[in-house]
Structure 1
Amino acid sequence: MDDQLTLRIRLFREGGQVRPEVADFVTAELATLEDEGRTVTEESAGMLTSHLMMALTRLLDGAPIEQFLTDEQVAAELTGHPEAVERARRVSERARAALGATLPESEINFLAMHLAVLAQQPTH
């Protein structure tokens, strides 16, 4: 993980925008991706990081997660990326087990989109 992505996470945590356990969970998920050879940088994973931290925080805070108007379109785009969808489901399951936060299908789909983009990045 590069310094800029580490800074992003630190700013979310220190600014009180996310719970420490959420920042820890997301950091661990990013480390796993990196351990698998993925390039995890601000450029490749910044949006994934912010989206997942904010979604988990909203869920833990009891804030509603709205369905997106583009859910069907996103799901259709994901048909070519079954591995990203499966990984998003596993992340969601780990979030439920570790944090008690159950991501709705729309959030799983958006997470899968981020993961599909990350999978297309060159590995190191």
Structure 2
Amino acid sequence: MDDQLALRIQLFREGGQVSPEVADFVTAELAALEAEGRPITEESAGMLTSHLMMALTRLLGGAPIGEFVTDEQVAAELADHPEAVERARRVSGRAHAELGATLPESEINFLALHLAVLAQQPTH
């Protein structure tokens, strides 16, 4: 993880926007991606990081997350990326087990989009 992405997470944590548990969970997920050789930088994973931290924070805070109008379109775009969808489902399962946050299908799809983009980056 590069310094800029680490700073993003630190600012979310220190600013009180996310709980330490959420920040730790997201950091661990990013570390797992990096261990697979994925480039985990501000440029490649900044939006993924923010999206996942805020979605988990909303869920843990009891805020409803509705379905998006674009759900069908997103699902169609993901048809060529079943590995990203599967990984998003595993992240969702871990979020449920570790944090008690259950991501709705629309959030899983958006997470999968981020993961599909990340998977297209050259590995190191």
Q: Work out whether the TM-score is over 0.5.
A: yes
* 1:49 match: 49
Rounded Cα–Cα distance in structure 1 between residues aligned with 2:80 and 2:90: 18
Shift of 1:44: 0.2
1:119 aligned onto 2:119: yes
Shift of 1:47: 0.2
* 1:31 match: 31
SS of residue paired to 1:66: coil
CA RMSD of aligned residues (A): 0.3
* 1:13 match: 13
Rounded Cα–Cα distance in structure 2 between residues aligned with 1:4 and 1:10: 10
Superposition TM-score, scaled by structure 1 size: 0.99
Aligned length: 124
The gaps in structure 2 that reach 5 residues or longer are: none
Rounded Cα–Cα distance in structure 2 between residues aligned with 1:43 and 1:69: 27
Rounded Cα–Cα distance in structure 1 between residues aligned with 2:61 and 2:32: 26
Superposition TM-score, scaled by structure 2 size: 0.99
Rounded Cα–Cα distance in structure 1 between residues aligned with 2:4 and 2:66: 30
Deviating above 6 A after TM superposition, structure 1's stretches of 4 or more consecutive aligned residues are none
Shift of 1:66: 1.4
Percent pairwise identity = 86
Give per-residue Cα distances to partners, 1:46-79, cap 9 Å, x unaligned. 0000000000000000001011110000000000
